[in-house]
Structure 1
Amino acid sequence: MTPTDNAPAIRPAERCNRLIRPGNRKLSWAEWGPADGRPVLFFTGAGMGASLGFGIEHLDGLGLRLIVPDRPGLGHSDPDPEKSLASLSEDMAAVLDELEAERIPAVGFSQGAVFAFAFAMTGRVSRLAIVSGQDDLGRGEFAEILPQEVRSMVETAASDPEGFTAFLEGFADAEGLYDLVLGMSSDVDRELYSTDPVGPAYRAALADGFTQGPAGYVRDTLLALRPWPFNVAEMPVPVTLWYGEKDTSPVHAPDFGLSLSRRLPDVRRIVDPERGSAILWLRAGEILADLLD
């Protein structure tokens, strides 16, 4: 981080909640911010449990209550053998019902973008922020700019989901994912993700996400890499795309959201030339405030 960057506030969840879904399946989420604040739903990145929020230092001032669910099979949420983008959206709708909220703003980070987009398509989101978000990587415009390894993963996820699942479950774990993220990151991101206060909290969130083993993460990754079963051109809410020009991850939008911005009907695209994927923590106050406009 540069000397002008303030270190993000990191602290344990202030409240933990759960509800029971059909089949006696437990769905859990963590919360930060005032209990009577306006709820904001946060879709975490790949493999992350709900123990790491963002923008904690801004929630009181903005009057926001950050809601961070564990997707099924991650953290403290029971696995869902039928997990799909549709079933995940039904789970999130149940959380909103529990909060007695009809529509709330939402944030999707990294791999969480696809789950945030899918839920926004249901009409239960009032405004959406996508931060360092993954795009639909199987689209033709990305064929020549994706690294061969990523392109092969996308093709296998589409053509052989069972083989993809078995392959990834054979070696995926929290430490391996942490090393992979750091290895794909630029220097500016690597510094944040490997040092206090974010680094240890990020590693702990991955360990939390893999508490039940790799299956939850693997299923999420399969869903994220397969062709999206919805058309973002029909997105019913305003979307702000946030990217850092120093984001070198090959599994985020390889064009920093340019293709997404051309497909979405109501969109703003912000590209920060000084930051990478960690823009989520370094411009958290602006990201959250923008959701209130």
Structure 2
Amino acid sequence: MAIETVAGNGTLIQSEVASLLVQPLEQASTFLAAGPKILDSSSPIRVPRIASGVSAGFVAEGSQISDGDVGFDEVTLMPSTMKGLKVLVRLTNELIRTSVVGLEAVLRTRLVTDVANALDAALWDGAGTSNTIKGIFRQSGIATGTLDLTDPDSLVDGLATAQGNKVNPTHWVMTSSSFAALRKLKVGADDARYLFDPNTIQNGTELRLLGLPVIITDNVPAASTKARVGLVDFSKVVVARDVDAEVKILDQTWGDYDSIGIRVVSRWDTALLQAKAVTLLTEA
């Protein structure tokens, strides 16, 4: 007598979809977490600043004090033509009702994440073309320097460049491969000890280099095959926020299709209060 087995009766086996939706592996949004100044406005913003001060001098008793002339200019953000980040997904009510996961809530969260990722890339390295965000690495007048991932002195020189511009950097910004190249540096050809103490370069989940926190992101501007590392003073970075992440459920627009839409809108801009707040090091 033949015994019917599972292997021979696959069509009879009940299938079950786990009520778990696996998200893709992706980097976290890093720009806003670094602590720039955020100004809420839907209108253009003008931030006045002193471009040049006056020179004080020693004046003898009873002598005339010479006149000084202070120069002013401004930083502008959020022009009326600035475009927003927007995304829209349509799905049927049948799909929502029959889905094993809470599809509407999952998609809502996913779309906000996708907009946040696009925003993060734009704030770091947006091209600024066609009324879009111009990232801080593309701003005019930023400081530059030479990077050598085999010689940490190039990082010290980058710090010296920033400090020479009267800037106190708050963060390093680099890709994971650049950080790995630096942390693998050895004391010498015959000495396998790491140049950077593993206990100080990584403390839990926090990464540090030469005393400063390290932000790992793929959004450092590419220079052909040459690596780049940024040094940023986030106290001099300002962000204008019109809409954070507005989520709308459009349940009437496609009512004749028995479908709904999920729309996410976000609108931001960024600028440097002082151009030298960013130092960008590039491999020779």
| TM norm structure 2 | 0.23
Q: Which protein is bigger by CA-based radius of gyration? A: 2
| TM norm structure 1 | 0.22
Higher RCO by CA contacts (8 Å cutoff, separation 6 or greater): 2
Q: Relative to total residues, which structure has the larger helix share, 1 or 2?
A: 1
